[in-house]
């Protein structure tokens, strides 16, 4: 095998296709599970809007909700859809800080 046929060379030469060579799925970030299905769920956009409106960092929200900072940031960027219990914890923490949620698109800060 010549050096130009190795996997690392193909990745370096064709970065646009490197995800396929590595077996990484690059489907769109949106997933229906990210939309709220019950009263305790919030969307990723609502979470970020409420957190920023309360002037909390992701670390502060994580401490109040007992959720990891990375989980919050990945949820807000729509990279993951946390468990319903995690979304409920985030919602309770944000509501305790003065945020209120109406529907799937509105956040009000008291």
Say how far apart CA 26 and CA 70 lie, in whole Å: 20
Look up tokens 């979304």; give the residue.
Answer: 87
CATH topology of domain 31-109: 434 Repressor (Amino-terminal Domain) (1.10.260)
**Whole-structure pTM over 0.75, yes or no?**
no
Q: Do 94 and 51 contact (CB within 8 A), yes or no?
A: yes
Residue 57: count other Cβ atoms within 10 Å of its Cβ: 12
pLDDT tens digits along 56-98: 999 999 999 999 999 999 999 999 989 999 999 999 999 999 9
pLDDT tens digits along 1-22: 455 544 444 444 444 444 455 5
Say how far apart CA 93 and CA 39 lie, in whole Å: 15
pLDDT at 38: 53
Residue ranges of domains in the chain: 1-29, 31-109
Say how far apart CA 55 and CA 7 lie, in whole Å: 46
């Amino acid at each position: 095998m010549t050096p130009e046929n190795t996997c690392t060379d193909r990745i370096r030469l064709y970065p646009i296709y490197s995800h396929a060579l590595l077996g990484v799925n690059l489907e769109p970030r949106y997933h229906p599970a990210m939309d709220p299905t019950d009263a305790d769920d919030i969307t990723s956009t609502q979470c970020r809007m409420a957190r920023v409106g309360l002037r909390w960092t992701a670390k502060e929200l994580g401490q109040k909700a007992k959720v990891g900072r990375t989980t919050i940031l990945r949820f807000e960027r729509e990279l993951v859809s946390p468990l319903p219990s995690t979304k409920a914890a985030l919602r309770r923490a944000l509501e305790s800080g003065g945020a209120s949620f109406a529907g799937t698109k509105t956040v009000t800060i008291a």
